[in-house]
């Protein structure tokens, strides 16, 4: 069966060229056609000789994700339901702002972590995405909307640090000047807080930003709501985050506020105590409800009160304007095609 060239890294494309008896730099041209010029058609690759194009087309195909459905929210964010080669489905979300055009990508089909408040956990875990399947979400959306993507957040379905090799492969494609040319500083990996994964990030040359879904400042509650917290104690997690903030970039802590769960001022006080000494930004996210989950978003005044309280600290505080909620495209609302109405 013909292999899909999209699934090859630049290095492995170079090996193919050498095997075919061509110069390795031919791989740069091929990579550029695929990832920068977004073509799936060998015949338009005019700077590559006819002979090489013929050889390539006999052995390989170029095939990307397929768009199954595109839904537009009232605030202009757009959710894409995408089909993979094996007919699994994932979702990615386009979030336009004045200067930034961000895509929120999935890194796994489903998620194995079982956070009780997140819709992705409802579908369980199917498999990890390949590097090209992650990068292709951005290329497909960029082509569809004819809008240059400037920022990427690894915050869709799945846990990026459980699939870090492929995420790294995707970053390589995304930041390459002959790929999508997106700066690593404009990319954020969001993790549930896996100690081993953050340790790995600390020791790689990656320059991406780190976001930690802290959410609950009470450790017992955090273990209840996010079962992986049992094996990833807060103390160690915060120690590593501190190190990351000193060695690399300021760390963002996501704080999803859920009604009657973590919406009191004492919860916020405890949060500030935990973050003492860390170069941190706190991103307050009002809970996005899902029809199949029992939790609710607190009243506006309650969220505002917590936000105002956090503003008294020296940290940078942002209140996330929830995007795409009416089409279930907000944080924690992505569930593939499983619950589409």
Residue 313 beta carbon to ligand SAH: minimum distance, rounded to whole angstroms: 20
Q: Are 82 and 140 in contact (CB under 8 A)?
A: yes
- Closer of 278 and 331 to ligand SAH (Cβ): 331
Token pair belonging to 252: 């963002």
The partner residues of 128 in beta bridges, in order of sequence, read 108
Identify the active-site residue in 111, 115, 118, 331. Answer: 331
Residue with smaller CB distance to ligand SAH, 32 or 288 = 288
Is 304 designated active site? no
Taking alpha carbons only, the member of 156, 162, 154, 155 closest to residue 113 is 162
Kindly state the smallest distance separating residue 89's Cβ from ligand SAH, in Å: 17
In this complex, which beta carbon is closest to ligand SAH, that of residue 140 or of residue 329? 329
In the 3-class helix/strand/coil scheme, how is 305-326 assigned residue by residue? HHHHHHHCCCCEEEECCCCCHH
Instruction: Say if strands 209-213 and 187-191 run parallel, antiparallel, or are unpaired.
Output: parallel
Rank residues 91 and 254 by Cβ distance to ligand SAH and give the closer one.
254
Which residue of the set 91, 159, 166, 254 is catalytic? 91
Quick one: tokens of 109?
A: 């089909």
- In the complex, least distance from residue 119 CB atom to ligand SAH, rounded to whole angstroms: 6
Angle of CA points 273, 256, 259, to nearest 5°: 100
The torsion region of residue 138 among left (phi > 0), alpha (psi -120 to 50) and beta comes to alpha
Q: Which residue has the tokens 């002979």?
A: 51
Beta bridge mates, 286: 257
The closest alpha carbon to 151, from 96, 201, 190, 81, belongs to: 96
Which stretches within 176-299 are classed as H helix? 195-202, 219-225, 234-247, 265-274
Under the rule (CB under 6 A), what is the footprint of ligand SAH? 117-118, 155, 159, 190-192, 213, 215, 254, 256, 285, 287-288, 290, 331-333
331 is catalytic: yes
Structure tokens at 226: 């996010």
- Work out how close the CB of 92 gets to ligand SAH at its nearest, in angstroms, rounded to a whole number: 12
**Closest approach of ligand SAH to the CB of residue 235, in Å:** 19
Q: Which of 36, 16, 33, 14 is nearest to 25 (CA)?
A: 14
Give me the residue whose beta carbon is nearest to ligand SAH.
332
Shortest Å, Cβ 329 to ligand SAH: 11
Q: Which is nearer to ligand SAH, 27 or 171 (CB)?
A: 171
Nearer to ligand SAH, 53 or 248 (CB): 248
- C-alpha distances (whole Å) from 18 to each of 21, 59, 178, 237 are 5, 15, 20, 45
Q: Which residues are catalytic?
A: 91, 331
């Amino acid at each position: 069966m013909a292999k899909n060239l999209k699934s090859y890294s630049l290095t492995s494309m170079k090996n193919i060229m050498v095997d075919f008896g061509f110069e390795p730099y031919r791989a740069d041209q091929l990579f550029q056609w695929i990832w920068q010029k977004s073509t799936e058609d060998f015949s338009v690759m005019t700077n590559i000789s006819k002979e090489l194009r013929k050889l390539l087309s006999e052995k390989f195909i170029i095939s990307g994700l397929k768009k199954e459905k595109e839904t537009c929210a009232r605030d202009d964010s757009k959710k894409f339901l995408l089909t993979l080669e094996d007919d699994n489905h994932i979702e990615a979300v386009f979030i336009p702002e004045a200067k930034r055009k961000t895509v929120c990508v999935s890194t796994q089909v489903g998620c194995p972590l079982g956070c009780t408040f997140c819709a992705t956990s409802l579908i369980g875990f199917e498999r990890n995405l390949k590097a090209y399947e992650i990068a292709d979400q951005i290329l497909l959306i960029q082509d569809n909307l004819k809008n240059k993507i400037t920022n990427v957040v690894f915050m869709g379905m799945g846990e990026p640090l459980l699939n870090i090799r492929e995420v790294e492969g995707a970053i390589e494609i995304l930041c390459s000047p002959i790929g999508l040319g997106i700066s690593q500083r404009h990319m954020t990996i969001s993790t549930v807080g896996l100690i081993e994964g953050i340790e790995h990030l600390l020791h790689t040359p990656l320059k991406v930003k780190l976001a930690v879904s802290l959410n609950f400042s009470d450790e017992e509650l955090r273990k209840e709501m996010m079962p992986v917290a049992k094996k990833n104690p807060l103390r160690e997690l915060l120690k590593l985050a501190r190190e990351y903030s000193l060695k690399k970039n300021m760390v963002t802590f996501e704080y999803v506020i859920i009604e009657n769960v973590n919406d009191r001022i004492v919860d916020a006080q405890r949060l500030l105590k935990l973050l003492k000494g860390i170069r941190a930004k706190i991103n307050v996210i009002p809970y996005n409800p899902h029809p199949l989950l029992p939790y609710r978003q607190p009243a506006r005044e309650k969220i505002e009160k917590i936000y105002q309280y956090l503003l008294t600290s020296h940290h940078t505080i942002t209140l996330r304007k929830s995007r795409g909620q009416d089409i279930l495209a907000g944080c924690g609302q992505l569930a593939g095609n499983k619950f589409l109405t």
